[in-house]
Amino acid sequence: MTTPALLPLSGRRIPTLSPGASSFPHHRATLRLSEKFILLLILSAFITLCFGAFFFLPDNSKHKRFDFGLEDVLIPHIESEKEARHSSRQVIHGMGAHDEHRHREEEESLRDKIRADHERALQEAKEKLRKSKEELKAEIQTEKTKVVEDLKKKDGPKPLPPVPMPKLVGVNDGDPGDPDTKEKRDKIREMMKHAWDSYRQYGWGHNELKPIAKKGHSTNIFGNSQMGATIVDALDTLYIMGLHDEFKDGQEWIKQNLDFSVNAEVSVFEVNIRFIGGLLAAYYLSGQEVFKVKAVQLAEKLLPAFNTPTGIPWAMVNLKSGVGRNWGWASAGSSILAEFGTLHMEFVHLTYLTGNPAYYQKVMHIRKLLAKMDRPNGLYPNYLNPRTGRWGQHHTSVGGLGDSFYEYLLKAWLMSDKTDTEARKTYDDAIEAIERHLIRKSNGGLTFIGEWKNGHLERKMGHLTCFAGGMFALGADGSPDDKAGHYLQLGAEIAHTCHESYDRTVLKLGPEAFKFDSGLEAVAVRQNEKYYILRPEVIETYWYMWRFTHDPKYRQWGWEAVQAIDKYCRVSGGFSGVKDVYSSNPTYDDVQQSFFLAETLKYLYLLFSSDELLPLENWVFNTEAHPLPVLHLGNITLPVSDNLSD
């Protein structure tokens, strides 16, 4: 008889060595003993140990419960033992002889019962050993299944309260009508299918894809986990494009495999915008409850990150332990403005869907804290220490480290059906300071947004900063002092500058950062700024400008980007970033970023769709391009901000 491959024993799984493969050749004779005899010895020793422990462990209240929980799992009569022992401890010194005699009889009866249980357990063990290998395996599997089901019942998600679905308009189709435009849109859809199918084939379940090596890829923002970031990030794009079979594949993976009970340290910001944002958008678009449930499960895992002296969250949190910390490179242990300032949209929706005010209160507390702080020149520095509540180094950027903080102030107002006037006022004040101190025009007439570093303006603009053209256009309506036209024009100027950064390269793809000094304009100078990693920000601005102006140049510029990406970034295993956009023979970075499917291809598809697809009156896009519905006052109740503690 052969031993089962894995034998459960005391909660452990013990692999059996196969013949000839033992790491211990001097002990091979031992392996030839009867497995039944060995198992019988183990069971006998185990039960004897438990039996002996009952009589020889000191009967003291501090030993009443074993620290490691054996009393919960060892033998079925443990509760009666505990009751008997508890009764014996109730005997007082002054009891009479008759009571003492009765007490001894009770103890002897208890010992007889334990001996009987001991004999019964041995008999059951013997009967087990008479069974065939197949019968044993079947019983083991049945027990494992029962344990899993019991755990699911015990730890399963609490039912969420029913809430009315916000008015959902334009969740699919968006046929542009014009055949040429439709052909271009179909091309973008084909690119999405190539990116998804490649990930499905080579990286399924991994966070991202290495399209040349044709294997999974991950970065430290996801910790050491395999959480299927590309699946979650791409879901709403698949749905919008009508790729419903692919959407269902992703939904099934999420239902069966997406688990947040992992020992992984993740970026609170990235997990919020990609996972929670992606799951919420998929829920609203499709109505499938599994996405809402998963979003709430993950959100609960992020809440411990806010356990700081100021309430400003840590940059990273361990999903299992709840321990948080900040990036080692951040100024003096600081949290980052764009990270703790880019939670509002998702957290308001979490409060709406769960009825739990904690999410809303967390983000409102951050806003109130920032409102009290002094701001140099009205600007928000990128670093804030979560322990002291003081700014780190005075570095301000509308690109990396700062960007989406400003975006979410505007979008908090839009998502509230324009009732969150505090958010709008904070946005307007911030943009006024940015325009005064950071926005300049180059010698060649290009409007750019520089970076403020310790009282000095660095005349450099990042690809990430290019989203701001769309933001200015989106915020034009409702701006103070009748400046709507001014901000729409400013958005157009930023869009033009960013297009120039693409057009002045060999590949017609934009670099990571570009300068405006020494006679060079909209051109990268350093080698480590010449790469393109499939970023969406320039195309995002094209789309917003198209929606607000319908100027055909934005579709023309978008199509230039489509052709360049398809020509220089497409490989047999998906799409890859390139290391030098100024080289006619570029090398690949071999990463298909999840945001390429979530943002870049989505914005391109929307650019060549009609305005009826996800109209901006009804939808607000998070910073990862996940559309969330406007929450009209008629169907939402949120905690009153005045009741929030400072």
Sequence ranges of the binding site for Ca(2+): 623
Among the listed residues 233, 236, 270, 589, the single catalytic one is: 270
* DSSP assigned state of 275: I
Residue at token pair 């570029």: 586
Helix or strand (DSSP H, E) at 348 = helix 344-354
Could you list the residues known to form a binding site, using ranges: 623
Q: How far apart are CA 274 and CA 598, in angstroms?
A: 8
Among the listed residues 537, 580, 589, 599, the single catalytic one is: 537
Is 537 among the residues known to form the active site? yes
Cβ-proximal residues to 421 (8 Å cutoff; 6+ apart), any chain: 413
Is 512 among the residues known to form the active site? yes
Cβ-proximal residues to 592 (8 Å cutoff; 6+ apart), any chain: 195, 198, 199, 203, 208, 209, 210, 211, 217, 230, 534, 574, 575, 576
- Which residue in 217, 237, 281, 279 sits closest to 254, CA to CA? 279
| Parallel, antiparallel or unpaired: strands 570-571 and 574-575 | antiparallel
Per DSSP (E only), the strands in 205-351 are 208-210, 215-217, 265-267, 316-318, 324-325, 335-336
Distances (CA, A) of 474 to 543, 544, 633: 11, 7, 21
Among the listed residues 208, 246, 339, 403, the single catalytic one is: 403
Residue 148 burial by CB count (10 A; 0-12/13-18/19+): exposed, middle or buried?
exposed
Among the listed residues 233, 265, 420, 512, the single catalytic one is: 512
* Token code pair at residue 125: 């063990």
According to DSSP, the residues that pair with 266 across neighbouring strands are 317
Residue 481: count other Cβ atoms within 10 Å of its Cβ: 8
Could you tell me if 209 and 574 are in contact, meaning their C-beta atoms sit under 8 angstroms apart? yes
Cβ-proximal residues to 573 (8 Å cutoff; 6+ apart), any chain: 198, 202, 209, 210, 211, 212, 213, 214
* DSSP assigned state of 615: -
Q: How far apart are CA 423 and CA 44, in angstroms?
A: 70
- Helix crossing, 277-286 with 244-257: angle to 10°? 120
Q: Which residues are catalytic?
A: 270, 403, 512, 537
